[in-house]
Amino acid sequence: MIDPKNKSAKEPPAWYRWAVLVIISLAMGGNYYVYDAISPLAPVLKAQLGFSDKNIGMLNAIYSIPNIFMVLIGGLIIDRIGTRWATLLFGGLCTVGAGLTAATDLFGVMAAGRLIFGLGAESLIVAVTAALAKWFRGKELSFAFGINLTIARFGSFAALNSPTWAEPAYKYWQWPLLISVGVGTLCVVGPAIYALMERGAGRRFQLGAEGATDKIVWRDLFSFDRSYWYVVALCATFYSVIFPFQTFAVIFFTNVHGHSREFAGFLSSLLTLFAMVCTPLFGLLVDRVGRRATLMCFGSLLLVPVYLIMAYTRIPPLVPMILMGVAFSLIPAVMWPSVTYIVEPARLGTGLGLMTMVQNVGLAGVNLLIGGANVYWKASESNPAGYRPGMWIYTAIGILALLFAWLLRRAETGPKAHGLETITTK
């Protein structure tokens, strides 16, 4: 918002833009930390509070449930009040939700806290994305998004490895959650500093327009072709085998493979570590070689055998986790940018919003499904075979992801292709 009297205002200097990126990315880092705080804590919640795998699955599933609907109004809120106030609003919900989750050992209250956290978390990410578009559109936008995700995913990496660096806190269930509340305050502190920086810059510099947000325009839903729906289906299936697996990964590695809680957390965090390092690199590769649908087939193929390897073989889990890490880095680097080639700009908000909605349906459903399967088959340290049905569920969903990736490649090598296989940057 530039002062209309200041006709000669210039664009912000590069250092100011990158400072904004770091500050606003810290809010996403706090968001990611709070989300991933449940997975390494799961064994403690089971031992000290008597929670079941179904309860653990619900704590992450209930995060996704409001986002099935929040995407309908989150973009409208951002458009109405702007990114400055939207990041503060949604960041505040994240912090309140984290605090409520840590406040009591009553499962219903903890679940309510995760619900409130979910109301703010995805919309905070959307608001941050819109803010970055304002500051980097027409400049280093793709690279800026890559750096933003690297900073944010450091929050996930820190949370999943917290049994190592915060080992004393895991003696009591509440202490790790209190740490997550402390880190979660970044969801408010970051936007507060960003608001001051934007307000100051608005008086001196020419800022870009707000970025496109994930909101749905219902009349546009019937305008998308098969390639778009294949990408949406791939998104839902791919994330449904990655994030729900992380929900139960620490329990699985400790009960099935006999690893310590610390090493189990490290194994789970490998997915995040690969994403932090490799996603920007895969993005650069794809920009140069194209072949986006082919690479999505390759990434999906990597996911199919990993769960059965972990369930039935003595191959060190490090090996399948590396394969998952490559897939987790490759698919997002290709999938989300591909939507911009398939959907015309006027409908991009609807396209991204619908994709986010379907993704959260998958995340909620599979978290509940795996938790219920572990309970039904009595999965535990004394019955490690009880985890195998859940691993078959992941494998089946992975096969579906490969099918949708293959269908996408077939569509994108046909007469109605959008250029996913051919478009490159020089």
Mean pLDDT in each 10-residue stretch from start to end of the chain (426 residues)?
47 82 92 94 93 92 82 70 85 96 95 93 81 70 74 91 94 96 95 87 60 59 83 92 92 93 91 84 80 90 95 94 90 75 71 81 92 94 95 96 95 86 76
Instruction: Tell me whether residue 410 is in a domain.
Output: yes
Q: Which backbone phi and psi does 131 adopt, to 5 degrees?
A: -65, -45
Q: Are residues 269 and 370 in the same domain?
A: yes
Whether 181 contacts 99, CB under 8 Å: yes
Cα dihedral 272, 70, 68, 107 sign: positive
What CATH number does residue 300 fall under? 1.20.1250.20
Contacts of 360 (CB under 8 A, 6+ apart): 64, 65, 67, 68, 71, 122
Report the pLDDT value the prediction gives residue 214, as an integer from 0 to 100.
56
Whole-number Å distance between alpha carbons of 403 and 202: 48
- What does the DSSP 8-state code read for residue 208? P
Per-residue pLDDT, 2: 39
Tell whether 289 and 374 lie within a shared domain: yes
- Same domain, yes or no, for 103 and 224? no
214, 247, 282: which is the final residue of a domain? 214
Model-level pTM? Answer: 0.80
Distance between CA atoms of 48 and 345, rounded to whole angstroms?
Answer: 51
What local confidence, expressed as pLDDT, does residue 3 receive? Answer: 45
Asked if residue 381 and residue 419 are part of one domain, the reply reads: yes
Q: Are residues 210 and 233 in the same domain?
A: no
Beta strands (DSSP E) in 352-407 are: none
| Co-location of 404 and 360 in the same domain | yes
Count of positions (residues) in the chain: 426
Q: Do 150 and 78 belong together in one domain? A: yes
Check: CB of residue 358 under 8 Å from CB of residue 236.
Answer: yes
One domain, residues 180 and 297: no
Q: Are residues 188 and 235 in the same domain?
A: no
Q: Are 100 and 178 in contact (CB under 8 A)?
A: no
Q: Is the residue at 5 inside a domain? A: no
Separation in Å, CA 138 to CA 20, 133, 134, 211: 16, 9, 10, 12
Give the structural domain span for 24: 12-214
Asked if residue 307 lies in contact with residue 395, where contact means CB atoms within 8 angstroms, the answer is: yes
Domain end among 214, 230, 247: 214
Structural domains of the chain, count: 2
Boundary-marking domain end, from 169, 189, 214: 214
Query: Is 198 inside any structural domain?
Result: yes
- H/E stretch holding 159: helix 141-160
Residues 317 and 207 in one domain: no
Q: How far apart, in whole angstroms, are the C-alpha atoms of residue 418 and residue 339?
A: 10
Residue 144 lies in a domain: yes
